[in-house]
Amino acid sequence: MTSPSTVLITGCSSGFGLETARLFLDRGWRVIATMRQPQADLLPRSDRLRMLPLDVIQPDSIAACLQEAGPLDALVNNAGVGMLAPLEGTSLTLAQELFQTNTLGTLAMTQAVLPQFRERRAGVVVNVTSSVTLKPLPLLSVYTASKAAVNAFTESLALELAPFDVRVRLVLPGRAPTTRFGANAMTRMPGQVPPAYADFTQAVFTSLRDLDAPTTQAIDVAEAVWRAVTDPTAPMRLPAGSDAVALAG
């Protein structure tokens, strides 16, 4: 009997990462569920599950995690942070924080697994970006830029890794109010919206509370990641969630 394949997923403490870890476990994979602060009770007990600490913006944390993880068949770069604010009210420190996690964290994790994938001439990297890169939305300029950079990075990287039979793919989720993303993003909101943007910002916040608009569920993202990992014929960009699928046309 062949041993199960192994996937390492970043940002498994909640939302898409947690659901993706569950789905790969259910389907027989060995799962390395990583999070900044591991919490043993988040996932069902299994001898195919390991929980490891990982902060994607800390090089020492990445090195220690991958050393502990051993050989991988797939990496899912899901960890990410959001921010909804007018650019004029955004400090460069906050912008750097977003790029550090969403863009450079993804790049660093990918770089760290490539030697083993290239040497084995196998492996797949899936980067979770966002449907906001398909259709621009206001107050998300920095967040969108941090994710659009990952789209461009991934599509270029795919070309240089194809000769080594290493695949890279993108999953673009739509808006998912049920994850902790919005609440996590609130902690990164600048203290004060510039007065000139106050009404506009309020209108955007109100529109985001529209419960009738189509949204994305965590399981949509987990299924899209599953397809990106397991189906070599999957397209480069996989929208996840009915809103994202509609946007992708």
Ligand X SMILES: NC(=O)c1ccc[n+]([C@@H]2O[C@H](COP(=O)([O-])OP(=O)(O)OC[C@H]3O[C@@H](n4cnc5c(N)ncnc54)[C@H](OP(=O)(O)O)[C@@H]3O)[C@@H](O)[C@H]2O)c1
Indicate the residue among 16 and 117 with the shorter CB distance to ligand X. Answer: 16
Show the tokens assigned to 58. Answer: 């800390």
Angle in degrees, CA 222, 38, 45, rounded to 5? 65
Least Cβ distance, residue 14 to ligand X (angstroms): 4
Least Cβ distance, residue 240 to ligand X (angstroms): 8
Exactly one of 16, 29, 117, 143 is catalytic; which is it?
143
Q: What is the DSSP string of 82-108?
A: -----GGG--HHHHHHHIIIIIIIHHH
Least Cβ distance, residue 39 to ligand X (angstroms): 9
Indicate the residue among 86 and 239 with the shorter CB distance to ligand X. Answer: 239
Residue 172 zone, left/alpha/beta (φ > 0; ψ -120 to 50; rest): beta
Show the tokens assigned to 205. Answer: 């916040």
143 a catalytic residue: yes
Indicate the residue among 122 and 208 with the shorter CB distance to ligand X. Answer: 208
Binding site for ligand X (CB under 6 A): 10-17, 35-36, 54-57, 78-82, 101, 105, 128, 130, 173, 175-176, 179-181, 184
DSSP code for 46: -
- Distance in angstroms (rounded) separating the CA atoms of residues 30 and 46: 9
Catalytic residue set: 143
